[in-house]
């Protein structure tokens, strides 16, 4: 019995041991271990259900980075990161088909970096148009909440986000007078590559941005090309054909002064599978004809951050989604959703904060409470709040 209990922890123990061995033996490499412990008491009241309060993990994680200078310009880097639940101590294991065996589910990257030609990376990672570090230039910087406080508080809950992809190659250029560009390509986002390329789910993303003293601008695009292998795989879409998904994102931030920063973002979706918690693959489950197309439409964001003085920071935004889905018979389902978010943070130090948040979400048409109940979907017509604490190390 004792061995069966310890067996699931063996991969984590092996990974930690390897990390510590690397840190102790690599004299030429700079190795650091980092992470965050983040938890809250989370309140939710949906229109269709009773109120609930639960302890919620808030994307806690632990990782390591290793950097070795090959010469005066070129460096080799390793990024490894896994998520864990602070509320119960388990690994998040969001590796899709590798659930239960994926140790570094958040990132597993080997890269080369040059001040002259940029950074080239290989492995499991978020794309350059995603909200996920270290290459998430498309969505992360234009979110007032810094991609925290999901799902309603984060930009990824309302904008179409790229998933983390296996077998990904990313290139990011050096900063050239404030301008940077890059692209990501996944040979097979969820499973290992099949020799026949058309069987794999592939993601292509690109971005260009400008970073000035007060102004940040970004334009980014993504396309998901879905595989034609309907025999196996972790992706639910393997059972039916899907049109290519595309999204185009534009965003800007402007620092009025040391205290105030403004945010604006817009995204257009074309056959995207999951936007504003409207997940077509689950909403239309069982009908291959209805599942061919995704969501067409737009999402917009306006927000701010305000350093109110001393350790206090106030965050706020409003997001609005308006879209439609083409059914197999040619008819369209329409949906609208809006979210109003607010948060107050108190920073004890640069690494420890407490916070409270509140969100109000409403929706119409296909995302109305009655429609979601008929589809056995989670009700997005709700009020949420949290009180929590985070420490970064």
Which two structure tokens, joined as six digits, stand for 80? 């490894």
pLDDT class of 102 with cuts at 50, 70, 90? confident
- The separation between CA 177 and the C-alpha centre of its own chain, rounded to angstroms, equals 28
Residue 10's SS3 state is helix
pLDDT in tens, 180-222: 999 999 998 887 787 888 888 899 999 999 999 999 999 999 9
Which comes out higher in pLDDT, residue 45 or 229?
45
Q: What is the percentage of the chain residues whose pLDDT exceeds 90? A: 78
- Give the max Cα distance, the chain: 65
pLDDT in tens, 316-337: 999 999 999 999 999 999 999 9
**Given this model, what pLDDT does residue 24 score?**
46
Given a cut of 70, whether residue 277 has pLDDT beyond it is: yes
Q: Which residue has the tokens 């806690």?
A: 60
User: What average pLDDT does the structure give for the chain?
Assistant: 90
**Given this model, what pLDDT does residue 230 score?**
65
Which comes out higher in pLDDT, residue 30 or 239?
30
β-sheet bridge partners, residue 283: none
pLDDT class of 27 with cuts at 50, 70, 90? very low
Q: How far is CA 75 from CA 110, 137, 221, 252, in A?
A: 11, 21, 29, 31
pLDDT in tens, 343-354: 999 999 999 999
Q: Which residues contact 137 (CB under 8 A, 6 or more apart)?
A: 128, 129, 172, 180, 182, 207, 209, 218, 220
**Given this model, what pLDDT does residue 196 score?**
81
Phi, psi of 176 (to 5 degrees): -120, 95
Contact 382, 369 (CB under 8 A): no
β-sheet bridge partners, residue 295: 272, 325
Enumerate domains of the chain plus CATH numbers.
33-392 (2.40.160.10)
């Amino acid at each position: 019995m004792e061995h069966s209990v310890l067996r699931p922890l063996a991969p984590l123990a092996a990974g930690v041991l390897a990390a510590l061995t690397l840190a102790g033996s690599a004299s030429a490499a700079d190795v650091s271990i980092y992470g965050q412990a983040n938890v809250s008491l989370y309140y939710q009241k949906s229109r269709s259900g009773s109120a609930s309060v639960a302890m919620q993990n808030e994307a806690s994680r632990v990782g390591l980075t290793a950097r070795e200078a090959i010469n005066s310009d070129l460096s080799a880097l390793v990024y490894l990161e896994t998520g864990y639940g602070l509320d119960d101590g388990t690994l998040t294991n969001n590796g899709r088909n590798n659930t239960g065996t994926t140790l570094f589910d958040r990132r597993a990257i080997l890269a080369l970096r040059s001040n002259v030609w940029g950074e080239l990376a290989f492995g499991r990672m978020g794309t350059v148009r995603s909200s996920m570090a270290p290459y998430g230039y498309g969505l992360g910087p234009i979110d007032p909440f810094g991609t925290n406080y999901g799902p309603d508080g984060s930009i990824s809950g309302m904008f179409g986000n790229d998933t983390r992809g296996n077998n990904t190659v990313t290139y990011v250029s050096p900063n050239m007078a404030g301008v940077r560009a890059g692209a990501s390509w996944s040979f097979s986002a969820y499973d290992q590559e099949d020799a026949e390329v058309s069987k794999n789910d592939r993601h292509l993303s690109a971005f260009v941005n400008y970073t000035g003293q007060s102004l940040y601008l970004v334009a980014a695009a993504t396309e998901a090309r879905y595989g034609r292998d309907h025999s196996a795989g972790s992706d639910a879409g393997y059972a039916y054909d899907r049109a290519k998904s595309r999204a185009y994102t534009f965003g800007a931030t402007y620092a009025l002064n040391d205290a105030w920063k403004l945010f604006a973002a817009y995204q257009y979706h074309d056959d995207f599978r999951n936007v504003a918690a409207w997940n077509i693959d689950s909403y239309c489950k069982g009908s291959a004809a209805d599942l061919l197309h995704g969501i067409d439409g737009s999402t917009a964001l306006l927000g701010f951050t305000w350093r109110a003085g001393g350790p206090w920071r106030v965050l706020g935004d409003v997001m609005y989604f308006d879209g439609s889905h083409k059914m197999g018979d040619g008819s369209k389902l329409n949906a609208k959703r809006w979210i109003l978010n607010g948060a107050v943070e108190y920073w004890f130090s640069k690494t420890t904060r407490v916070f409270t948040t509140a969100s109000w979400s409403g929706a119409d048409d296909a995302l109305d409470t009655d429609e979601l109940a008929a589809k056995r979907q989670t009700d997005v017509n709700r009020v949420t709040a949290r009180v929590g604490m985070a420490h970064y190390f």
